[in-house]
Amino acid sequence: MRAGSRTIQVSNLDKVFYPDGGFTKGDMLDYYRRVGRVLIPHLRDRPLTLKRYPDGVEGQFFYEKRCPPHAPGWVKTVPIERKRDGKIINYCMVNDVASLLWAVNLGSLELHVSLAKAKKLGTPTTMVFDLDPDPEQGVLGAAEVALEIRKRLARFEIESFVKTSGSKGLQLYVPLQTAVTYEQTGGFAHALARALEEEMPERVVSKMKKELRKGKVLIDWSQNDDHKTTVAVYSLRARPAPTVSTPVQWKEVRKAVRDDDPDLLSFTWDEVLTRLDKHGDLFEPVRKMRQKLPTF
């Protein structure tokens, strides 16, 4: 497979990765090739964790942080000190279509990316709230909580943007592009999550313990950490259908809640390509907008 001046060796193109719909590895490569023009700017110069499914969504998977030693020389890497033992791990970065297709050919169905860029690993460019609903709440419960978070951020004159996780929840992003630390973004996100938990204890939880999460939406503020990665916008997800982590407009979130229709917040790969033709990249402001993080 060609990408610009480079040739990527691909294999097993007819292998079915999503049995329910017959979506193959070749289809997966084609999706990422077509979405690459908007996806790559969100990945460029950022450490990447590959979530690999060599045998598709029904098979075993593993996370790969260390860039494989057989990676082509043109795949850029960044060394990062591992938190638990201080060892240096070279993470892959996807800066062009060739690197993207090479990574996907490994069975990297999901792409998880750092909130910071390689040159300033301690400076996140965004703050994120990962909303993980209990099955009783579902994505509509996450949508209601997302709207509440947005309302509170607006009081600080902070704009926020939202995407589906591509799985069962939503992820709310606050673009910064200013001199902040993870301690600051994590502290702010934690404080807001705790405040909402106090105001809405029957619906919101800010602690990870499973026994506390039944019937509630977890506001996972802990993603604001220099050793964590979050599923990238436009990444496929390992669900029964080839769903995608998709940017949505706030009016779409409100409509889904108003109509009590969770399907309005779920998108497959082909729907995402159609949305891109209609709306362009709704997440572009996340990588461009500059905002100052206030004190909570």
Residue 17, pLDDT score: 98
- Delimit the CATH 3.90.920.10 region(s) of the chain: 2-114
Q: For residue range 105-119, list pLDDT tens digits in order.
A: 999 999 999 999 999
Residue 4, pLDDT score: 81
Residue 213, pLDDT score: 79
Place of tokens 């309005």: 264
**What whole-number distance in Å separates Cα of residue 167 and Cα of residue 224?**
20
H or E segment at 170?
Answer: strand 170-175
**What whole-number distance in Å separates Cα of residue 47 and Cα of residue 266?**
27
Residue 214, pLDDT score: 86
Q: How far is CA 169 from CA 59, 163, 207, 278, in A?
A: 23, 9, 16, 24
Residue 50, pLDDT score: 97
Q: Classify domain 2-114 at the CATH topology level.
A: DNA primase, PRIM domain (3.90.920)
Structure tokens at 214: 């039944």
Q: Classify domain 126-288 at the CATH topology level.
A: Alpha-Beta Plaits (3.30.70)
23-24 and 16-18 as β-strands: parallel, antiparallel, unpaired? antiparallel
Q: For residue range 60-77, list pLDDT tens digits in order.
A: 999 999 999 999 999 999
Which is nearest to 296 in space by CA: 162, 186, 148?
186
**What whole-number distance in Å separates Cα of residue 116 and Cα of residue 80?**
12
Q: Which ranges of the chain have pLDDT less than 70?
A: none
Residue 120, pLDDT score: 97
Q: What is the pTM of this model?
A: 0.96
Within 8 A by CB and 6+ apart from 287, the residues are 41, 42, 125, 175, 177
Place of tokens 């998709």: 246
Residue 183, pLDDT score: 97
- Delimit the CATH 3.30.70.3300 region(s) of the chain: 126-288
Question: Contact 131/217 with Cβ under 8 angstroms?
Answer: yes
